[in-house]
Amino acid sequence: MSNISYLNPSIFLLTGIPGMEGGNMWVAIPFCSMYVISILGNSTVLFIIKADHSLHKPMYLFLSMLAAADLGVCLSTLPTVLSVLLFDSREIGFHACLAQMFFIHCFSIMDSGVLWAMAFDRFMAIYNPLQYASVLTNPRVGLIGLGLMVRSVSLLIPLPILLMRLPFCRSHVLAHSFCLHPNLIQLPCADTKVNSLYGLFVLQATFGLDSLSIVLSYVMIIRTVLSIASKEERLKALNTCVSHICAVLIYYIPMIGLSMVYRFGKHTPPQIHTLMANIYLLVPPVLNPIIYSVKAKQIRRVICKLLTPKWH
């Protein structure tokens, strides 16, 4: 058979939970629960911020961007994950797989960028509160969000193009129930050095720079807080950062773990790869709206107002 027939495989085969193929229905229950919580939680945050004009401030506008990105990641993986776990439908078309890969990584990079923007927002609010409103105006916040979107899309467009030029003459079985770039570049039978180098460049230009900016922002925040004389004021300033710190940790720790597993854990059990990938993509969208609903007084007040019946 000619090698040309392998250039664009018609389908890939997705994988559920390795070793638990017989109990997919039971495995699907926690996944469905997580998807429901994530979709309802992030949609509620978006609805509350849009409906309440008192929340049209930089901090909450960035939070709405984070909720939208989390919702995008969740909806990008939902069709294939549930089709594999509920209906044992493992086939996905080649171009559909590339499209899913593009959207998963695109929204994930937007997540990282928004977390950086939120760190900058907290730094400005603590470092120079008098000029905070004049520096971070709503139009500028919108431009930051637009810039993060353009960055994600422009950096990721070459990834599916580079994959389309490769011959896939090895196994077409993917390691997850969704398509990820680190998994896809392991399947071609040609040299994938260009793909790997560009993927590493995208990783450094987004997650690397964002994480470095977040660390530098918190170094400046800590220096500013330590210069405050009152202990109560120091605690109050740091308390405004607790939600963001939690969001950063639950995003970057699984992402770093997944990257380490792919680069250095080639001989680790496949269950570890599956577990890390699902934690990375599902846990942050589930926990972020819960964290911000608990810590943000204004959001919590609106939620309580919606849930509490009005007695006349």
Residue 11: predicted pLDDT: 86
pLDDT for the residue 293: 81
pLDDT tens column, 13-35: 898 777 666 556 777 888 899 99
pLDDT at 183 over 50: yes
Total-model pTM: 0.90
Per-residue pLDDT band at 5 (split at 50, 70, 90): very low
Range of weakest confidence among 110-119, 200-209, 258-267: 258-267
Structural domains in the chain (count): 1
**The pLDDT of residue 2:** 41
Domain hosting residue 257, numbered range: 11-307
Percent of the chain whose pLDDT exceeds 90: 46
DSSP state of 241: T
- CATH number of residue 285's parent domain: 1.20.1070.10
Within-domain flag for 254: yes
Is 1 contained in some domain?
Answer: no
pLDDT of residue 302: 77
Q: Is the pLDDT of residue 109 over 90?
A: yes
pLDDT digits (tens, 9 = 90+) for 235-289: 888 888 888 999 999 999 988 888 787 777 667 777 777 888 888 899 999 999 9
Residue 127 belongs to a domain = yes
pLDDT of residue 310: 53
Taken in order 136, 137, 141, 146, the sign of the CA dihedral is: negative
In three-state secondary structure terms, 91 is: strand
Residue 119 in domain? yes
Answer whether residue 5 is part of any domain: no
- Which two structure tokens, joined as six digits, stand for 146? 């637009």
Q: What is the pLDDT of residue 1?
A: 38
The structure tokens listed for 124 are: 């400005």
| Average pLDDT of the segment spanning 70-88 | 91
C-alpha span between 13 and 9 (Å, rounded): 11
DSSP 274: H
Residue 187, pLDDT score: 86
Q: What would the mean pLDDT of 190-210 be, rounded to a whole number?
A: 91
Q: Does residue 253 lie in a domain region?
A: yes
Between CA 286 and CA 139 the distance in angstroms is 29
Residue 221 lies in a domain: yes
CB 106 within 8 Å of CB 182:
no
Q: Is residue 146 part of a domain?
A: yes
What pLDDT score does 312 carry?
A: 43
